[in-house]
Amino acid sequence: MWQRMKKGTRRANGESAIYFGADGRWHARVPMGYKDNGEPYRRHLTPKTRDDLVEEVKKLEKQRDAGSAQQPSKAWTVEKWLQHWVENIAKPTVSENTYDGYEVAVRVHLVPGVGKHRLDRLQPEHLESLYRRMQANGERKAGTAHQAHRTARTALGEAVRRGYAAKNAAALAKPPRLEEDESEVEPYSVEEVQCLLLEANKRRNSARWMLALALGLRQGETLGLRWSDVDLNNEYLKLRRNRLRPRYEHGCPEASPCG
């Protein structure tokens, strides 16, 4: 709803206003919602004729009520969106391992490679060029470029769902072809296993290495084990969870750093 502003009248909250300004033009101010800090914001329209203005106000109000109108603000760059997505959208909802892969792909490859582009102007060719640069001179394997590609596709898909971009450039881009790894895995010899166990026994967490060697467990599986998963009487254990190796954290307090 909207009305022409008159002296001595007040508009209801959420009501658009159309008026003829001192500059000889028609104006409209359409309430669009609230900013992140809680302040209300309005969209200002100034078409050439009143009829055009009325149509634009109707269209904008319809978008606002449907939740498809964007808040007027500076457009996202790819860098800002990826950093926001990985820390505020992906991190609380994915596993520790998945987040770690996303974070590395964003920080090491995607932000330096395509971060300066505007999010709504990123093209598939920009990403394909990045993948080629990553593989130039054999510096990066195709699998690394694929990880960057999968991360970009997921992050940009979320941007499309939220209306920040019209298309998912990563979904249109062609990732590099993965070569099949035909090399055979060579198991450790008995002598090598004995050497590893002797060295592992010198460490506090030697059980981790012994279990991995004896049962063929992955690193995440051994790190995720708890005593409640082990039944010594019946000689079996249950693999209930996977855990990424915790990142290093400095032990000294910030107030008195060790230097």
Alpha carbons 227 and 237: distance in angstroms, whole number = 9
- Parallel, antiparallel, or unpaired: how do β-strands 236-237 and 230-231 relate? antiparallel
Confidence class for position 126, pLDDT limits 50, 70, 90: very high
* Angle (CA) 173 154 131, round 5°: 35
pLDDT at position 143: 84
Alpha carbons 46 and 29: distance in angstroms, whole number = 9
* Angle (CA) 216 220 223, round 5°: 95
CA atoms within 13 A on the CB side of 14: 6
pTM of the predicted model as reported, rounded to 2 decimal places: 0.56
Q: Where are the beta strands (DSSP E) in 8-78?
A: 16-20, 26-34, 40-45
223-245 confidence digits (pLDDT tens): 888 888 888 888 888 888 777 66
pLDDT at position 105: 95
24-83 confidence digits (pLDDT tens): 999 999 888 776 667 787 888 898 899 998 999 998 888 778 766 665 555 789 999 999
Q: How many CB atoms lie within 10 A of CB 7?
A: 4
Alpha carbons 168 and 246: distance in angstroms, whole number = 33
CA atoms within 13 A on the CB side of 92: 4
Structure tokens at 170: 């990563």
State the average pLDDT for the chain. Answer: 83
139-151 confidence digits (pLDDT tens): 567 888 999 999 9
Burial status of residue 16 (CB atoms within 10 A of its CB: 0-12, 13-18, 19 or more): buried
Residue written as token pair 């490859």: 109
* Superfamily of structural domain 78-172: Tyrosine recombinase, N-terminal domain (1.10.150.130)
